[in-house]
Amino acid sequence: MQVNLVSATPLRNIILAARTSHDSRAKSDTPHNNLLGPTDTALLRRLIKLGHDSVLEHVVYTFDITGISRALLQELVRHRIASYTVQSTRYTLGKILSEYTEEEIISNFCVIPQNEHNIFIEELSKIVHALKLLYMLGLENDKLKYLLPECWKTNVVMTVNARELMHILELRLSSKALWEFQELARLLLEEVKQVHPQLWELIRQERGIGDESNG
């Protein structure tokens, strides 16, 4: 699994929205699009602490997410306040089945849980063998994909605002979440902390999201 942050709107957008609400734009001390001054930092901390999260919707992230399972994808798209574009099996499945051996497909195009029992691999091998056989017999991709296992890898571009991302992380960083989703959540958080460290540190301090002691 890999996660790359493709783009992020300026952190200053949040301050603009907040100070528009309070008619206090003249008090802003943000010197840079993604670097908040102390007065604006205090304002943002107060908003997060009080749960006034709507201003966070003015910051939007786009992620390139590769190598996740179809099982994880099903859970990810349940978060509906986001936009998703998913790799099409209709156009890619046949190429994979024709260009790679069964062993290569299992190694490169399937998510295998750690320490999984040999029976898992044995059953997966049967499915991949059937997929390749049916492809050689001329079955169309649209029908072949009905046989795909949940561990089959896919790629997705996701666009989400900071408020919804905060909600996703709150749920999916939990040890109760799907193990693969926990890893995705961790990588998403790492990416946004690089571009907006002040915002996500305030969220950690005031809401506990991303605090390892609360994971």
**Active-site residue list:** 172
Pick from 197, 183, 174: nearest CA to 71: 183
One DSSP character per residue, 53-111 reads: GGGGGG-EEEEEEEEEEHHHHHHHTT--SSEEEE--HHHHHHHHHHHS-HHHHHHHHB-
Burial 9-24 (b: 16+ CB within 10 A, else e): bbbbbbbbbbbeeeee
- For residues 97 and 131, the answer to whether their CB atoms sit within 8 Å is yes
Q: Which two tokens stand for residue 40?
A: 């604006």
Cα–Cα dist 191/42, whole Å: 24
- 5's torsion region: left (phi>0), alpha (psi -120 to 50) or beta? beta
Report how far residue 77's alpha carbon sits from residue 154's, in angstroms, rounded to the nearest whole number.
13
Whether 86 contacts 156, CB under 8 Å: yes
